[in-house]
Chains A and B, each alone.
Chain A
């Protein structure tokens, strides 16, 4: 069989438009008679609020100010509907949208925005996910901050630890991270002649966006069209709604095109982040270097909204052992609300944080056993036929042992390179 495409380098279809600058991102779209918009966002992490837009509405060039009162169903979210389109009586994180100021120019919108009076009655906040799990902690939504608890039970860890001569017990933490895609959020909305509402944005989920616009504005889905323009990077941060409903509401109400473009700072405030995790691990190996038991408690900070919290913390729990066979495993992973910026999808989706803990545990165990970091991995790594702690038998290609062999071969090379880098850092060159 001759393959026409496989094995050949082909030029991607959008390369030409991108190298010539012709590719349109939402900020590149300009329509006749269009209005501009700016989003007023919460300046505090947790507060009851009262909004007064009267003076702002009188500013020259301000056409309309939208708040929660204008939204038929003020809730959205990819899993739980815990986001407000606009904060109604309470804000739960810095950056939560409060009002959408539409005007004849960006300056007019900024003037209007500065004249909106927001009275914040600040509430005690909770910023540490472990604190947030406690009974008496301030609650972000409802009665409990725990959104999700994933339990993995395999074998009997007490028995398993009895057979261990080396045990490593440590807590690892990872930090929040922004995707920082290069194209800040932007979008434009308008009405078509037949009454179809169009929102052009760079999104990862045009179909979800459409559904959410229709739901919150009580429209038929057939009357809503979401156009996905070129997307200037996303990495998970364009999965949750940011501007879509605001834009839709404005064009629908005003029957004129409306454009919004974020600056970098607003982009940071508006979209999700990577979950910071606290990972408490206990891992044990027997005298021959085989892992016998592992216990882990993983807490992910979901910030003020759920977004994909359960999916992310489930994935973290499922991957908790790393790529190693361990017969006795107990994992509890939790997703927890705090008043931090909300977290959601980001490349790896919960699997990325885990190796920080699981792999360091391996190194520490190797040291305790007096064997090399390679040997302990070679002994325990998944092979074809291995069974994971979740009960999956790996039947197909599992070439991890080969990967390790390659690493062993190149390890000296790596150490040399590392020395050069270390020296350069010491000399203060880097």
Chain B
């Protein structure tokens, strides 16, 4: 057992962890942040993607203690007071969601990309998402969604109140 401190979705946490605990287990099993998914547990599928200190990482490949002192964003951190992130909105509108298991990871990868490069080409978007597997959709719609999100972000549109 050891204690670590970290920020997740703007909230400060102080938690006891086992030394052999992975970051994904901390998020899901301990903190109940189950939006982050585990598809393979070995860095292949990207379903577990989160943003850690500005970089997208596979949370199945990071040990929980390595996250000590870090600032983390998970899918749960994107919606703000009922307002969806423009990327989430674009994914919904473009029909990019099927079974949905890959979607949190894909959206987080999209966010990590657009946070760094607000205006990527379609090729760069493909590259940015290349660590995420999706078995249902064929990827094109996720790329369409990223392109739409770029437009929304340029226009400063993030007032998509959800009615669900």
Interface centre among B75, B95, B135, B136 (most CB of A within 10 A): B135
Q: Does A410 contact B (CB under 8 A)?
A: no
Q: Indicate with 1 or 0, residue by residue over A299-314, a CB within 8 angstroms of chain B CB atoms.
A: 0000000000000000
Q: Is B47 an interface residue (CB 8 A)?
A: yes
Are A233 and B136 touching (Cβ within 8 A)? yes
Say yes or no: A20-B39 contact (C-beta < 8 A), given A30-B32, A231-B99, A232-B99.
no
Chain B 92-109 interface 0/1 with A at a Cβ cutoff of 8 Å (1 = within)? 110101111111100100
Q: Which residue of A lies closest to B89 (CB)?
A: A19
Chain A residue with the shortest CB-CB distance to B78: A20
A14 with B84: CB separation less than 8 A: no
The answer to whether B45 touches A182 (Cβ under 8 A) is: yes
A182 to B139, CA, bound (A): 14
A28 interfacial by beta-carbon distance below 8 Å? yes
A24 touches B99 (CB 8 A): no
Contacts of A27 on B, CB cut-off 8 Å? Answer: 34, 37-38
* A17: B residues at CB distance < 8 A: 100, 164
**Distance to closest chain A CB from B125 (angstroms):** 17
Contact with A along B108-139 (1 / 0, CB 8 A): 00000000000000000000000001111000
Secondary structure of the B contact surface, majority rule: loop
Contact of B101 among A9, A182, A264 (CB under 8 A): A182
- Alpha-carbon distance between A27 and B32 when the two chains are bound, in angstroms: 11
Most buried by B among A17, A18, A23, A179: A18
A21 at interface, CB cutoff 8 A:
yes
B97 to chain A, nearest CB (A): 5
How many CB-defined contacts (below 8 Å) exist between A and B? 99
Whether A263 is near chain B, meaning CB under 8 Å from some CB there, is: yes
Q: Which residues of A contact B103 (CB under 8 A)?
A: 18-19
B40 within 8 A of A: yes
Interface string of A13-44 (1 = CB under 8 A from B): 01111111111110110100000000000000
B16-45 near A? 1/0 per residue, CB < 8 Å = 000000000000110011111111111011
State whether B135 touches A233 (Cβ < 8 A). Answer: yes
Residues of B within 8 A of A11 (CB): 92-93, 95
B134 CB contacts on chain A under 8 angstroms:
182
Contact between A15 and B74 (Cβ–Cβ < 8 Å)? no
Q: Which residues of B contact A14 (CB under 8 A)?
A: 97, 100
With A23-B100, A230-B100, A233-B136 as contacts: A183 and B39 at CB distance below 8 Å: yes
Partner of A15 from B39, B97, B136 at Cβ < 8 Å: B97
Interface residues of B in 37-58 (CB under 8 A from A): 37-42, 44-45, 47
Supposing A181-B99, A182-B133, A183-B99 touch, asked if A15 and B91 sit within 8 A by C-beta, the answer is yes
The proximity string for A residues 138-182 relative to B, scoring 1 for CB distances below 8 Å and 0 otherwise, is 000000000000000000000000000000000000000001111
Complexed CA–CA distance, A408 and B39 (Å): 42
Is residue B3 within 8 Å, beta carbon to beta carbon, of the partner chain?
Answer: no
| Chain A residue at smallest Cβ distance from B76 | A21
Q: Tell me which residues across on chain A come within 8 A of B159, comparing CB atoms.
A: none
User: Can you show 13 pairs from A to B with CB atoms below 8 A apart?
Assistant: A11-B95, A17-B164, A18-B100, A19-B100, A19-B107, A21-B35, A21-B74, A23-B100, A182-B101, A182-B133, A183-B39, A183-B101, A233-B135
B residues neighboring A (CB under 8 Å): 28-29, 32-42, 44-45, 47, 74-76, 78-79, 84, 88, 91-93, 95, 97-104, 107, 133-136, 162, 164
> Which 10 pairs across A and B sit closest by C-beta, in order of nearness?
A21-B35, A18-B100, A232-B101, A21-B75, A28-B34, A16-B164, A19-B88, A183-B101, A182-B101, A15-B92
